[in-house]
Amino acid sequence: MSDVPQEARNWRLYIQDMIDFGEKVLSYTKGLDYDVFIADRLTYDATLRNLQLIGEAATHIPGKAREAHPEVQWRDIVGTRNRLAHSYLGIDDEVIWDIIQTDVPKLLPALQQLLDATSKDAE
């Protein structure tokens, strides 16, 4: 995340952060299967941290922007962040693996499209 104070940041920067964190998740887990992912605690922890950061960045997207882009599952993203931050003993590894394999690859193009569309609107 950039060093710009939160209150001064344009919400589009948080979208870019979400993309960056999602790309890290996919990069860290590329070529891994479920068992290797679970066994590699460093990769596991780094991946969970970036999933959490995706959700944290999503909390900074204004309600109007969320409403205008329902193709992004904002509530689920923030909910995942909350579960990762507060339920560390109750994390379901299979659910996390499904998020990595299914949800993040779908999320990144949606976020990029949102960023591209809103960047054109801001010009």
The pTM score is 0.88
All domains in the chain, ordered by first residue: 9-122 (1.20.120)
Residue with tokens 């590894």: 93
Inter-CA distances, 49 with 21, 65, 79, 120, Å = 9, 25, 14, 31
The one-digit pLDDT tens for each residue of the chain (123 residues) are: 555 555 558 999 999 999 999 999 999 999 999 999 999 999 999 999 999 999 999 999 999 999 999 999 999 999 999 999 988 668 999 999 999 999 999 999 999 999 999 886 554
Residue 118: predicted pLDDT:
86
Residue with tokens 């204004």: 62
Among 8, 9, 12, residue whose Cα is nearest residue 116? 12
Residue 2: predicted pLDDT:
52
Distance CA 99, CA 51 (A): 9
The residues that are catalytic are 81, 86
